[in-house]
Amino acid sequence: MVLAVTDVVGYLLLVTVNQQRVSRKRTYLMCSPEHFAVEYAINPWMDLTTPVDAELAVKQWDRLRETLLGLGHEVHPLNPEAGLPDMVFAANGAFVVDGTVYGARFKHGQRAAEAAAHRAFYESQGWRFIAPSETNEGEGDFAYLPEAHGGLILAGHGFRTELAAHAEAQEALARPVVSLRLVDPRFYHLDVALAAIDDGNIAYYPGAFSVASQRVLAQLFPDAVLADDADALAFGLNLVSDGRNVVLNSEASRLAGNLKAAGYQPVPVELTELKKGGGSVKCCVAELRR
């Protein structure tokens, strides 16, 4: 078969159009960092000797919230509680898939009481809530890809969430769960090493995973956007995407470039203060999936 020039041009146009990513309106839950501080160290990023600028933390968090609102998304507030300095990391409080909430059960005592605050929020709003028996830190260790292989949950274990919680989540949410083993303590949650960038694809840092889990990810997501050490250490993968706009830490500039090349629109935000607690964009944002 001989292709005419117009065919080739048409094909290239099609490829370009296919690269045009489409956003979907999201509903998020966020908790103001009014009480944020680094008062204990439960991950390698938390250094009790580095001061946190509390005012700047609130300012940066406000910007993040305004950025999400500006992109057309809805943001529900969760009331912060004194004595729970990590409560700003709202992603850890539950994992919601298609109207069902699988509750969290924190590994560390310092954060245990956050689970009840999240539960109260969901129950007051009439969500179907399933209380966990196993240790798990919500969206910190679970990601949902509605269009990957018919609807897939990716789950991390190794530092916080127990493997038994993966099976419990599968029963609670009726979606297949793929267990991935995290091996580097700096990437203690799945959401600092891997993110859904749309309904069917992910970005991730292979070095955070066991060799076997890297092979599983390569098999399931051959078109994934890969991040390097610097991007991952800059919390670049701790991102929130609506399918087109990818809100990510401004320090992860190379990852932003790779996402742009893949047709996404990077939206950088500064979160230097919350990073001192070991979190960035995604940690602050839980997605409410009806």
Which of 247, 238, 249 shows the shortest CA–CA distance to 283?
238
CB of 284 to ligand ARG, least distance (A): 8
Could you say which of 73, 118, 157, 189 is catalytic? Answer: 189
CB of 20 to ligand ARG, least distance (A): 30
CA distance 227 to 224: 10
CA distance 99 to 128: 7
The H or E element that residue 38 is part of is none
248 in Cβ contact with 236 (< 8 Å): yes
CB of 47 to ligand ARG, least distance (A): 11
Has 189 been annotated as catalytic?
yes
The neighbouring-strand residues paired with 250 are none
Nearer to ligand ARG, 165 or 192 (CB): 192
DSSP state of 188: -
Which residue type is seen at 140? Answer: G
Which of 168, 34, 158, 46 shows the shortest CA–CA distance to 104?
168
Nearer to ligand ARG, 65 or 189 (CB): 189
Which residue type is seen at 148? Answer: A
Nearer to ligand ARG, 89 or 209 (CB): 89
116: phi then psi, degrees, rounded to nearest 5:
-65, -35
185: phi then psi, degrees, rounded to nearest 5:
-60, -20
CB of 140 to ligand ARG, least distance (A): 3
Has 108 been annotated as catalytic?
no
CA distance 266 to 115: 32
Q: How far is CA 100 from CA 7, 66, 96, 104, 210, in A?
A: 47, 27, 6, 13, 30
Residues in contact with ligand ARG by CB under 6 A are 42-43, 46, 86, 89, 91-92, 111, 140, 189, 191-192, 277-279, 283
Expressed in angstroms, the distance from the first to the final Cα of the chain is: 49
Could you say which of 31, 73, 118, 283 is catalytic? Answer: 283
Nearer to ligand ARG, 21 or 121 (CB): 121
Nearer to ligand ARG, 267 or 281 (CB): 281
Nearer to ligand ARG, 21 or 252 (CB): 252
CB of 106 to ligand ARG, least distance (A): 8
CA distance 191 to 281: 10
CB of 37 to ligand ARG, least distance (A): 10
- Residues that are catalytic: 189, 283
